[in-house]
Chain A
């Protein structure tokens, strides 16, 4: 019987604004090169992935990122005692800082990770993206970081409308007037706090690129995708793989200059004059990551291999015109399961 690699995965919230966890697990399970036991790490009792027992073998709740690294480590030590974890794949922006901080400790415990360094992680931060772009020669929209309301009032001195008002972790609202900007400011402030980013609006076609770096500057996989159907939250409900060397080169360059380790998603706006602007870099796999496996470059499975010390050669081909169409499904469970995860923090 083959050894089952024990892999813990976060972001099981396969909801209308989905976390990538379920897609990551699906891609990993599809790889025939290894067997796995998947441990879900959840924050809330109603994350759908918890109840998908054909994908997730066992789930443990973990403390929210705001509880800090000590609380997270304490919980991971317990889970490790129970499960003998070999690899953790965190998939939320907000939790990555804590996991990166714990990387060496986890390594000593025998738990591998495959994440960017803190420097890499912070360089692509929304608030530093403009400097990052200027330093490495990427087109990035002009922006201004707003720390208090009165700074917003002065924004018209530097920018013309429309603009994009963005939260430090999530959310982006396009505004056409100062009044709309003020409303967007308060809406995002109440949800994500300060600072808030005001960014130049680039008109064009939105392209997303899922990429995987080996940490030495090599892009193991790059898959560009165009959203075909977008939800009111701006999430892709359907998308298609594209064939355009511009995007592949862009992602390769990003991975080369950052020596990115792990998965990432470049959100790119191809302006009407043909310039690919990097709008954001998400430091983890996107929720549509299963499409990479479907198109022939299984990024999550390749990450597992690299995290466990195997050499993975860069992919050279993928299927263009591969489409994903997301769907909603009413998964049925019962109160006993809900009680287990709510009461005991395990399922």
Chain B
């Protein structure tokens, strides 16, 4: 008989080693998958996971893609700790980009250093507003936030499409569904010359620091932990669960909105229907792979960014569809969840009862 015995204390050491094991397991599974699909596994794996690391431009692109992942993942981690499942960050990202982008377009003849901060504010508020819907419905009507946030993602993407086909369409363009290019004051300053790395990355790093301080030293960090581990204890503890729900959704919505605005005002430089490319969903994996800790999320943001860069390289060099990125991301989460059993349970191999009696 093999049995799993839950550990009283979750093994701290293993908790941080298992994500690394998950990465290795994923690469092994990927090798098997490519072999089954009849592609050269060694070549595919090295293109996806190794080559991007040897090339300075690819590394800069990793930073560009890690920026939204870290921001969104950090926001989500608070809710996930408390058992509040915002899985619609993609929608909050989209509405944030839309709101901030609309400010940029409205001010397209105005120059000034205050334009960008105003856009960021609009982006944060846009994301918060979109997340306020599930927060309100959950606290007022007891409605499951998983399904509401997800449904709102589809609505947000359609909303972006309506806007760039109509009110926000470039009046001087060739009738393509896209906004005009943002003007100079509305574009994020570049951090490293000749790359697309923008100052949003510094904001993401600052957010990591702030999140670390909150979780460690602020009572709110304590509240989300208690609420996640025991909602009833949270009740007895006397703090309002409703407020934790609101705060978690506002943090994740605001950060996702900011990430969306950064994407529009950074690498993309305008509003297009294809702006949301799945960062909101990938960030869920980033949060888990990072163990819901700020520093972990910083690292796992880079690992997941690597799957994007590697996926693009595989697309160009091996004619694989870009969907290979999603396959690897799914496998990452699968392996992590599977291997987690090592950190949370003790595997007991017990002899059957008749053997023990002898």
Do A and B come from the same complex? no
